[in-house]
Structure 1
Amino acid sequence: MTASSEPAPAAPAQASWRQVALYLLTRAAARLRAATKVVRPIGWVLIGFATVLWLSGPRLGWWEVTVAAVVITVVVLLCLLFLIGRTAYDVSLDLTRTRVVVGERAVGALTLSNSGSRTILPSRVVLPVGTGRGVFGIRRLAPGEQAEELFAIPTARRAVLPVGPVSIVRGDPLGLFERVDSRDEPVDLYVHPRTVRFDGQSLGFVRDLEGMTSRELARDDIAFHALSEYQPGDDLRHVHWRSTARTGTLMVRTYEQTRRSHFVIGLTTHPGEYADEEEFELAISAVGSMGLRALRDSHRVEVRAQRGKLRTETPRHLLDALSGVEHSRPRDGAVGELAGSIAAAAPAASVVVLVGGSRIGATQLRAAFSRLPVGVRTLAVIAATGQEAGMRRIGEADVITIGTLEDLPPSLRRVLA
């Protein structure tokens, strides 16, 4: 007979008990972490102080110390009673407008209702808004009752502010314990930059509906250039029969290639190219104003910064993207590197506008212009708060300086006159 090679049954049972023990320890640790979250720093101080008094009172034989330990323990236990109770509100957060212009107020309403069968004791509701928060005191709600709180969010600067999630807070009067229950989902509030409208027909950079003519010749386009001898493969529809009859040689029309109205705005976000935050905001407002005008004129609009391309499919996408623009890191490069990335990403652009701050010098602008594609109409807009509007030429590019956003439309009209 051969010996049996069946495994001993104790091994699987032993492994199973280890898994059960690990599961129980994990659950216990999670419960302990959840329980300790309700204790605020002042609560930990009192609990630690009471523990010291309980240990030292009987050992030292001081009755007063033991009495103090009893009093503190009773206070802590009474404060714990305030955490008992339901906070099962039905929460509704309603922002009348999720997109406002900087300086406007965003108005909203917070509605809490008790859909249960038991009364909900008074509590506090915390509404985070960006890095700040609003606190509302909610009264006792009987079953079926609801409470509504109106609020207004001031917008001092351009940003994307997460509003929420709403947190229900139950705590004691001494602030030893606090239970927080988060409800609802956060809502993004877009604070758009201020923009200015342009009067008249278009920005004027691309006057022809079919686009700008380039210096490259083609056999088939719209802008007629000259006549040339027929080459094998040319389209016979472009044969100029009168010249053919006069010269005795088959002549065809040649055209200048036209370029589609591809409007590219390069916004440098390098912090060293702006004197202060006001210049940075002015530059972003200028980008938004020109981008909106170009979109209304049905141009293909592209906005690029050091950190990449912004969404510009619609006016809302453009303004939403500009709301979240921040300074880039110095290692991301300055306006010269931005011009290089534009040349690589949009070599067929018809118009490129570089927008930056007053600390960009003429040498930096000249170097940036040299990196753009040949034949592109180029313009630079320099935001310099407090300075008078002006215009100058650097090479073949126009450079305008604006001190306020209202300087932008007349400055562009002077360039295009």
Structure 2
Amino acid sequence: MRLTRRGAGLLATGPTLLAAGFGFGYPELAVLGCAALVAVVLAVLHALWRPVLAVTRRADPDRVMRGDDSRMTLTVHNNSRLLAATLVAYDRCGAAVVPVPVLRLRPGHDTVAEYPVPTDRRGVVAIGPLRVVRRDPLGLATAARASGDVAQVWVYPTVHRLSAVPVGVVRSLDGRVDRVPHGTITFDTLREYVVGDELRHVHWRTSARIGELMVREHLDTSLPRLVVLLDDRLCAHPGGRDGTADSFEAACEAAASLVVAAHREELPLVLQAVSGDVVARDGRRSDTRAYLDLLAEARLRGTGDGDDLDRAVARLRHRRAGDTLIYLTGPGDAADLGTVGSLRGLYPTIVVGTLGNTTGAPSTMDGITVLSAGDGAGFAAEWDGVRAW
């Protein structure tokens, strides 16, 4: 709660008028001073009264591609039984402030505000909380409070269609990668029982502990798997600030395009950031939401050294995750490409995408396919220009 300039002026003038009125025998001045102080006290009490509000918000949709439409619907309901809420409210939507018309909100009624969510930039747009400002009729005091929770809208990178993806070294006779079959030899995870599952796969100890049937899910580890390594180091993207850079945005678009293409071809995929965030799902069971959420939340990190990349490569070396490694980075550093190239003995196919500069990276390296592009669309064109995977 704070006093406005008018309220602070009255608070300072009131005692002066009282002192002058009583000291010099002017009752009129004393009455004015007393009225000023009473007005300030009543204004403070009026502003401090907290209306009972219920704030709900709904984003439609809450996950969109960059540039697509998303709208936020905000509903403010007055739960008070007797008093109307005279308020001025503002909702925060990313970096913008949106006014919400809730003046004279009667008891038991609500007001609805709808406004577009900015989707011109990749990221997670935080919306809320609602900032409710209550002031007295004379404008002497105001009190601002936060009401309601915070919603989020995930803005995904732009996806460019890729005509094909590398399928590694294991192919079926008809030229497509086989789907992961149930019942193969490698344990993956536990899941709830569904009609048709074999009872010999039921994990009885876990089922007894949680009170419902749980079965062991297995997968065939011989199937090819794509591994996308996204370089989110600040040193790999010159000119980066506020957690992003043009080259990093292009790398996120390239990663999103690979995710969607792998999902279309039902290929298992691992998306790993150099900083350590990983999403790994079976191509048959998963959708793209977890991958694209990670890309929407991705920010540039680090202080400028290559230790994070060394650790990421070490993780890939000790736990081979697939047949094809795709490394997406900034304009290109020969030392970084050499670090990733040390994995040639483990991954039959290694592709390096250098984004943001078409002249700063080598065009070829021994055993590595290097694609240089200025943006995500350029990467898709370079990718589709590869004759065969």
TM-score (norm 2): 0.71
TM-fit CA distance, 1:176: 5.2
CA–CA separation in structure 2 for the residues paired with 1:338 and 1:45 = 60
- 1:14-413, aligned counterparts within 5 Å? 38-39=1-2, 49=12, 73-83=37-47, 87-172=51-136, 177-199=141-163, 202-206=164-168, 208-209=170-171, 259-276=222-239, 277-313=245-281, 314-330=287-303, 333=306, 336-337=309-310, 339-344=312-317, 346-358=319-331, 360-371=332-343, 373-384=345-356, 387=358, 392-413=363-384
Q: 1:291 to 1:391 in 2, by over 3 A?
A: farther
TM-fit CA distance, 1:261: 1.1
User: Is the 2:236–2:330 contact (alpha carbons within 8 Å) kept by the matching residues of 1?
Assistant: yes
Counterpart residue type for residue 340 of structure 1: V
TM-fit CA distance, 1:175: 6.1
Alignment deviations for residues 170-216 of structure 1 (CA, whole Å, 9 cap, x no partner): 123676533344443322211111111223xx40343643599xxxx
Q: 1:52 to 1:288 in 2, by over 3 A?
A: farther
TM-fit CA distance, 1:341: 3.5
1:269 counterpart SS class: coil
Q: Which has the higher helix share?
A: 1
Counterpart residue type for residue 325 of structure 1: A
1:280 counterpart SS class: helix
Counterpart residue type for residue 378 of structure 1: I
CA–CA separation in structure 1 for the residues paired with 2:16 and 2:65 = 58
TM-score (norm 1): 0.67
Q: Which has the larger radius of gyration?
A: 1
User: Is the 1:85–1:120 contact (alpha carbons within 8 Å) kept by the matching residues of 2?
Assistant: no
TM-fit CA distance, 1:118: 1.7
User: Is the 1:268–1:334 contact (alpha carbons within 8 Å) kept by the matching residues of 2?
Assistant: no
User: Is the 1:166–1:182 contact (alpha carbons within 8 Å) kept by the matching residues of 2?
Assistant: yes
Alignment deviations for residues 112-134 of structure 1 (CA, whole Å, 9 cap, x no partner): 23354324132122322234432
Counterpart residue type for residue 271 of structure 2: V
CA–CA separation in structure 1 for the residues paired with 2:50 and 2:312 = 60
Alignment deviations for residues 211-245 of structure 1 (CA, whole Å, 9 cap, x no partner): 99xxxxxxxxxxxxxxxxxxxxxxxxxxxxxxxxx
User: Is the 2:14–2:32 contact (alpha carbons within 8 Å) kept by the matching residues of 1?
Assistant: no
Bigger mean CA deviation after superposition, 302-311 or 128-137:
128-137
Q: Which runs of 5+ in 2 are unaligned?
A: 176-220, 240-244, 282-286
Correspondence for 2:385: 414
Q: 1:78 to 1:144 in 2, by over 3 A?
A: closer
TM-fit CA distance, 1:264: 0.9
TM-fit CA distance, 1:66: 8.4
Q: 1:305 to 1:54 in 2, by over 3 A?
A: farther
Q: Which runs of 5+ in 1 are unaligned?
A: 1-37, 213-257
CA–CA separation in structure 2 for the residues paired with 1:413 and 1:86 = 61
2:338 counterpart SS class: helix
Alignment deviations for residues 24-83 of structure 1 (CA, whole Å, 9 cap, x no partner): xxxxxxxxxxxxxx2368699659856995999799989999899767635523532532
CA–CA separation in structure 2 for the residues paired with 1:302 and 1:62 = 87
Counterpart residue type for residue 342 of structure 2: S
TM-fit CA distance, 1:162: 2.4
TM-fit CA distance, 1:287: 0.8
TM-fit CA distance, 1:160: 1.3
Which structure has more relative contact order (CA 8 Å, sep 6+)? It is: 2
Q: 1:62 to 1:284 in 2, by over 3 A?
A: farther
2:47 counterpart SS class: coil
CA–CA separation in structure 1 for the residues paired with 2:15 and 2:343 = 72
Counterpart residue type for residue 203 of structure 1: V
